[in-house]
Structure 1
Amino acid sequence: MSGSLGGRAKSGQGAWLKLLLVLIPGLLLAVLLGLVSSTGSYFLIGILSGLLLTVGVAMFPRLLLWTTIVGGMVVSGAVALYLPQFQFVSWLVAGSSGLLMLYVGREFFRLNANQAVKSYTPNLIHLALLFLLLVLVSTLINQATLGTTISGVKGYFQIWPLMFALALIRWDEKTMLAVPKVMMWVALIQLPFVFHQYWVLVPERVGVGFGIVPVDVVAGTFGAEKMGGGANATLAIFMILVWTVLLAEWKYKRITGLRFGLLSPVLLTPLFLNESKLAVLYIAIVFLVLFKEDLQKRFHVFVVGSVTVSLVIFALLTSYVAIHADEGNVTMDSYIQETIDQNFSDKRTTRWSYELNRSSVYGFWAEKHGLEDPLHSFIGHGLAQSRASSGVIKVSNLATNQYQFMGIGQVSASALLWDVGLFGFLLVMGMFWWAWQATKELSRYFQDQPEMFALFRGLQAIVPGLVISLAHKDLFLVALPTQTLILGLLGYIAYWQRNINERR
């Protein structure tokens, strides 16, 4: 009897303890919410609310994954343009990406506990870990300042956990098969943003000067500033990525020509409005990768593809010339020549804001490096040393001191050379080479499954474009939406490579 009463007493104490454990944090949280609300600060209210939402989402790994992907590609960029006072949303997206590492850790311990489960680690992860090790070594040897290091880590690695999570967690196939469908919806969502940006925001930017290109703001949900630059190039490569998969599905008879013909103008419309010149090159490369096999085997298919792509490219160039119609005497020839001059010659225009351009940055780096300085040539000067502006965290580095206004880090490729040297640059190139080979392997594996075969042929065709994008802007190292797209794609490919290797 006494034992029973003692058990009840203990049970009652346990119930009260649990109640207190819920009530006390709840009361403290209520007080904190009240205090923050009384400040009227959107920043503090948003941060606290976002943290609570993120913690809640973190309880559900699939929801956390989708929150990170959609938050990175849709929410953070749209907020940066339309609600800049809420730009801290990008921190929350990066935080949700970081929380995914908890599930990576859980997966690791689960595998160690169950030795019977076959495990395979994609080579992408090995390359990524080597890159992280190199960054650590470079930071220690160069004795970088804390502010510069923090700025570099935030810029480079804010979304890397997403790549690790996609590659290493055993997501169910249903979730991964939904990714292409979600990307199609993300592509369709771009249209209302693009039309608003082109018809409303572009006219407001015309004639502003200061090197501002009006159509750069046509970036959909991938981020822009009303009176600054924009990730229009990221929008272009994303829309081409989705269109390329659609093109592969049509080529390999997964969809009808009617569906391809109806969806193509919808997906390509943003390219005609945002003057992303590299879109022309991306489309040409996509065609060569997808149709080169038909040059000898099915020449008629190659001809049809050539005509289709040629018409698209001609239409794009015509639209770009039309954008400058009010400048007078802008012809197709003069437009192409000006583009070449801006990027490959020493000629300067009022639209170029740095001493160096996208091609001369490499010669300048080589001039300052070499065998006389092997340390910095091979492992670089440290993260963010090439970054001219750092946002919230102020830094003092090579770009702001020795090479001010030179633009040594204006593109990701040159920034990598300055920050992490040849070794770091080659490791990043190795990650893209791995993606090329992995998509080829996946295409062969799924050759009897037309839908999956077309998907990976399409993804393979876009990989060279991703590499070229590193030589166009610095977005790969600083912009969350761009990083979500590229690193998310690498992680997605790694998931399927691990999946098929563990099946064998």
Structure 2
Amino acid sequence: MSLHIVSSANTRQNSSILADMIYFFLHPKIHILVMVVGGLMVVGIFKIYMPALSKLSWLVNISGFYLFGFSIILLIHKRRFPPVLVWPLILFAYGIVTALINGMGTLAILFDLKRSFSAWGLFLAAYVIHFSSSDIERIKKFVYLLVFFQLPFCLHQYIVLVPLRETVEMAGEINLTPVDIIVGTFGGKMFGGGANGTLAVFLIIALSMLLSLKNTQIKSAKYIFLLALIVLPLFLGETRIVVVYLMVMFVVVYGKDIIQNPSKFFINTILMFLLIGSLVYLFFLTKPANMNVTTQGHFANFVAKNFGDLSSKDRELNRTTVLIFWASEQRHFSWANTLLGHGIGATSTEKTGDGLAAEAAGSLSKRYPNYGIDYTSASIILWELGIVGVLLFIGWFSSVWILIKRIEYTAPASILYQINGLKVGTIIFLINMFAKSSFHHTISHQVLFAAFMSYPIILRYRSRDL
């Protein structure tokens, strides 16, 4: 009898442990943690230093789709769809419909949903899940931690990895830019590209918030320490679009105040122009030591590669001509393709491997091999989703901007620095789509974008009871 009682007790205990484990793994905040910490720190570090473990990025994708499904169920149940979520949901459905209309296979569609949309569950979850004040404080602490980690990793990448890549480049084994590996925790390939643009976006958003803090909100020593952590990685890399991001940040953070009280912000203005001028000199007017060209030739080469007819060794198009090429090629397609696009994944250049990856190679990438039609996210959207897709993205970013402005009108002065960060981020994420393809191809960028889009939703709706 006693053995039976003990056995029953053990069974109940095991069942309770199993139930707790199931609850733990199904809890949405656990998946948010996996996405944010995994996508912004762990996966990127593994990708560079332990590439054999880089497939762990699939855990981030799985958590993203879990949050997407979880959030959709709650949204349907509550019948609440704020405009800031309506636009991305329409885009998601529209992407699938255009792929089906263009005859894409199921496997290819699944692969490209993973490629482009797997992080979107994060900002949907931000609306349906309640976030307490302590959750907000944890978010702030994580941002501080993420800022802190960038400089040590960037220093190691600059001192150790860049020379290794320079050796490979000079040997003529691989065509690469050595400093592109300065990516902090955001990931890259040892002998390929890196998410240096994503690092720049994150650092500029962080810098805009830091510069917006009042003297009463942060001690001088801590301010200088954080300023060094943010600014130094910008000088280590060679992400030239940082100059544009800084100009945007300057206008958003100081523009209104300078017009109203120019003398008060004179020193800030001078310091900002010194920072921008230093980066311009470093990025545009200082030629690499191994380049047999004049400084003027180096700058002219940069202009031609981005705004002229010159392209890289591995593609025919650059950031400007890739858009011109889309417009010129529309005469070969129907008006429906111009308006609606060719379906998600049509520009995918993923050709290596077997099975899913092989099936996912896009029809347009086969039609235009080595052209680089997927060089920027703006080009990808035009080819895959057409003019309608572009209009949907414009609607989405506009709704985010309107939401941020509404928050600004009612927000306490203590969080106005966050509002400036949100405004700067919205603009530079949009600019980034014309400079990089990270929005579609880089998991760390996708998670950063989704996390960024989540925060105004949390600020606006976190106190309601769903």
- Other-structure match for 1:35: none
1:167-246 alignment to 2 at 5 Å? 167-206=127-166, 208=169, 209=172, 210-246=174-210
- Describe the shift of the 1:258–1:144 C-alpha distance in structure 2 as closer, same or farther (beyond 3 A): same
**Does the CA-based 8 Å contact 2:127-2:462 persist in structure 1?**
no
1:98 to 65, 83, 86: 65
1:78-157 alignment to 2 at 5 Å? 78-101=45-68, 103-104=70-71, 107-108=74-75, 112=78, 121-157=81-117
What's the secondary structure of 2:363's corresponding residue? Answer: coil
Q: Deviations over 1:298-330 (max 9, x none)?
A: 112443332111111122233335571343555
Q: Deviations over 1:205-258 (max 9, x none)?
A: 1152443000001111111111111111111111111111101114x7533555
- Other-structure match for 1:417: 382
**Does the CA-based 8 Å contact 2:147-2:230 persist in structure 1?**
yes
The one-letter code of the counterpart of 1:280 is V
Looking at structure 1, the residues matched to 24 and 298 of structure 2 have their Cα atoms a distance apart, in angstroms, of 49
- Describe the shift of the 1:99–1:145 C-alpha distance in structure 2 as closer, same or farther (beyond 3 A): closer
- Describe the shift of the 1:79–1:391 C-alpha distance in structure 2 as closer, same or farther (beyond 3 A): farther
User: 1:427 and 2:387 equivalent?
Assistant: no
What's the secondary structure of 1:369's corresponding residue? Answer: helix
1:74 to 24, 41, 46: 41
User: 1:403 and 2:363 equivalent?
Assistant: no
- Other-structure match for 2:301: 338
Looking at structure 2, the residues matched to 190 and 326 of structure 1 have their Cα atoms a distance apart, in angstroms, of 28
Q: Cα distance, 1:459 vs. partner?
A: 1.6
Q: Which moved more, 1:156-165 or 1:12-21?
A: 12-21
Looking at structure 1, the residues matched to 209 and 287 of structure 2 have their Cα atoms a distance apart, in angstroms, of 29
Looking at structure 2, the residues matched to 158 and 310 of structure 1 have their Cα atoms a distance apart, in angstroms, of 39
The one-letter code of the counterpart of 1:295 is I
Q: Deviations over 1:411-460 (max 9, x none)?
A: 111001111111112212322222222222212211xx222111112221
**Does the CA-based 8 Å contact 2:147-2:229 persist in structure 1?**
no
- Other-structure match for 1:441: 406
1:379 to 331, 340, 348: 340
Looking at structure 2, the residues matched to 455 and 20 of structure 1 have their Cα atoms a distance apart, in angstroms, of 46
The one-letter code of the counterpart of 2:437 is D
Q: Cα distance, 1:59 vs. partner?
A: 4.5
**Does the CA-based 8 Å contact 1:247-1:458 persist in structure 2?**
no
**Does the CA-based 8 Å contact 1:435-1:460 persist in structure 2?**
no
TM-score under structure 2 normalisation?
0.88
2:125 to 145, 149, 165: 165
- Other-structure match for 2:282: 319
1:353 to 314, 319, 322: 314
Q: Cα distance, 1:160 vs. partner?
A: 1.2
Residue correspondences, number: 454
Q: Cα distance, 1:153 vs. partner?
A: 0.9
**Does the CA-based 8 Å contact 1:379-1:420 persist in structure 2?**
yes
**Does the CA-based 8 Å contact 1:190-1:220 persist in structure 2?**
yes
**Does the CA-based 8 Å contact 1:399-1:406 persist in structure 2?**
no
Q: Cα distance, 1:352 vs. partner?
A: 4.1
**Does the CA-based 8 Å contact 2:376-2:433 persist in structure 1?**
yes
**Does the CA-based 8 Å contact 2:109-2:344 persist in structure 1?**
yes
What's the secondary structure of 1:219's corresponding residue? Answer: coil
TM-score under structure 1 normalisation?
0.82
Looking at structure 1, the residues matched to 34 and 208 of structure 2 have their Cα atoms a distance apart, in angstroms, of 25
**Does the CA-based 8 Å contact 2:181-2:190 persist in structure 1?**
yes
Q: Cα distance, 1:107 vs. partner?
A: 4.5
The one-letter code of the counterpart of 1:132 is F
**Does the CA-based 8 Å contact 1:168-1:495 persist in structure 2?**
no
Looking at structure 2, the residues matched to 97 and 390 of structure 1 have their Cα atoms a distance apart, in angstroms, of 25
1:488 to 447, 451, 466: 451
What's the secondary structure of 1:325's corresponding residue? Answer: coil
Gap runs ≥5 in structure 2: none
- Other-structure match for 1:266: 229
What's the secondary structure of 1:327's corresponding residue? Answer: coil
Gap runs ≥5 in structure 1: 27-52, 113-118
Looking at structure 2, the residues matched to 418 and 325 of structure 1 have their Cα atoms a distance apart, in angstroms, of 39
Looking at structure 2, the residues matched to 178 and 390 of structure 1 have their Cα atoms a distance apart, in angstroms, of 41
Looking at structure 2, the residues matched to 60 and 143 of structure 1 have their Cα atoms a distance apart, in angstroms, of 37
What's the secondary structure of 2:366's corresponding residue? Answer: coil
Q: Cα distance, 1:126 vs. partner?
A: 0.4
**Does the CA-based 8 Å contact 1:233-1:276 persist in structure 2?**
yes
Looking at structure 2, the residues matched to 484 and 263 of structure 1 have their Cα atoms a distance apart, in angstroms, of 23
Q: Deviations over 1:310-361 (max 9, x none)?
A: 1111222333355713435553x4443322111110124xx54211111111
Looking at structure 1, the residues matched to 206 and 187 of structure 2 have their Cα atoms a distance apart, in angstroms, of 19
- Describe the shift of the 1:22–1:337 C-alpha distance in structure 2 as closer, same or farther (beyond 3 A): same
2:431 to 442, 458, 468: 468
The one-letter code of the counterpart of 2:391 is L
What's the secondary structure of 1:299's corresponding residue? Answer: coil
Looking at structure 2, the residues matched to 243 and 390 of structure 1 have their Cα atoms a distance apart, in angstroms, of 39
User: 1:276 and 2:239 equivalent?
Assistant: yes
What's the secondary structure of 2:38's corresponding residue? Answer: helix
Q: Cα distance, 1:260 vs. partner?
A: 3.0
**Does the CA-based 8 Å contact 2:96-2:344 persist in structure 1?**
no
Q: Which moved more, 1:374-383 or 1:225-234?
A: 374-383
Looking at structure 2, the residues matched to 417 and 256 of structure 1 have their Cα atoms a distance apart, in angstroms, of 47
Looking at structure 1, the residues matched to 91 and 253 of structure 2 have their Cα atoms a distance apart, in angstroms, of 31
- Describe the shift of the 1:459–1:56 C-alpha distance in structure 2 as closer, same or farther (beyond 3 A): same
Q: Which moved more, 1:149-158 or 1:394-403?
A: 394-403
- Describe the shift of the 1:433–1:302 C-alpha distance in structure 2 as closer, same or farther (beyond 3 A): farther
